[in-house]
């Protein structure tokens, strides 16, 4: 589980969201690798904050696309995202407790498992509702 990376079986059929998922799993992997190697707290906190920020960016993008495509399960999906954001936020608050590193790594692993499970079971449910070109406008909009 520590080094699970994105693969095609996780595809939700929307390239920009697949790219986000790949990037977030890479960030999880980097964080776990740094944590297990007992890197200093500052770099771990930096990685954790990076994960937190990109998660927010990704969830907003995903929710906007679900809304745009009229996905009926949006509210429940939003609630799942909020749960994850809250859990990541709690982790970033634990920075001062120097004895908690192993616990934090365990929590990061659990969150990674949650995220993979979320892609495979919850995210995939919106795939049939996405138009073939879903996300392509979003991509050009964000590029401007
Ligand atoms: Fe999602």
- For the stretch 83-120, pLDDT in tens is 999 999 988 876 555 556 767 888 899 999 999 999 99
Q: How far is CA 105 from CA 5, 91, 96, in A?
A: 17, 10, 15
Domain range summary for the chain, segments of one domain joined by +: 13-143
CA distance 91 to 57: 18
For tokens 């059929």, what's the residue? 13
C-alpha 44 to ligand 1 mean position (Å): 25
pLDDT value at residue 31: 92
CA of 42 to the centre of ligand 1 (A): 29
**The domain 13-143 belongs to what CATH superfamily?**
Hemerythrin-like (1.20.120.50)
Q: What number of CA atoms fall less than 13 Å from residue 82's CA on the CB side?
A: 6
pLDDT of residue 40: 81
CA of 80 relative to ligand 1 center, distance in Å: 7
- Stretches in the chain below the pLDDT threshold 50: 138, 143-144
CA of 110 to the centre of ligand 1 (A): 16
Q: Name the DSSP letter for residue 130.
A: S
Residues bordering ligand 1, an ion, CB closer than 5 Å: 123
Cβ neighbors of 105 (< 8 A, separation 6 or more) are 32, 35, 36
C-alpha of residue 38 to centroid of ligand 1, in Å:
30
Report residue 61 as tokens: 């993008």
The token pair at 1 is: 């589980």
pLDDT at res. 36:
82
Q: How far is the CA of 74 from the centre of ligand 1 (A)?
A: 10
């Amino acid at each position: 589980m520590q080094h699970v990376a994105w693969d095609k079986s996780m595809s939700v059929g929307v390239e920009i969201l697949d790219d986000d998922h790949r990037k977030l799993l890479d960030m999880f992997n980097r964080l776990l690798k740094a944590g297990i190697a007992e890197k200093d707290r500052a770099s771990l906190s930096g990685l954790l904050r990076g994960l937190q920020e990109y998660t927010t960016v990704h969830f907003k993008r995903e929710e906007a696309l679900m809304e745009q495509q009229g996905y009926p399960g949006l509210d429940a999906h939003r609630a799942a995202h909020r749960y994850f954001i809250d859990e990541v936020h709690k982790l970033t608050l634990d920075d001062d407790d120097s004895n908690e590193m192993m616990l934090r790594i365990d929590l990061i692993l659990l969150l990674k498992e949650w995220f993979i499970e979320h892609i495979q079971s919850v995210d995939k449910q919106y795939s049939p509702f996405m138009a073939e070109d879903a996300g392509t406008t979003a991509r050009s909009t964000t590029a401007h």
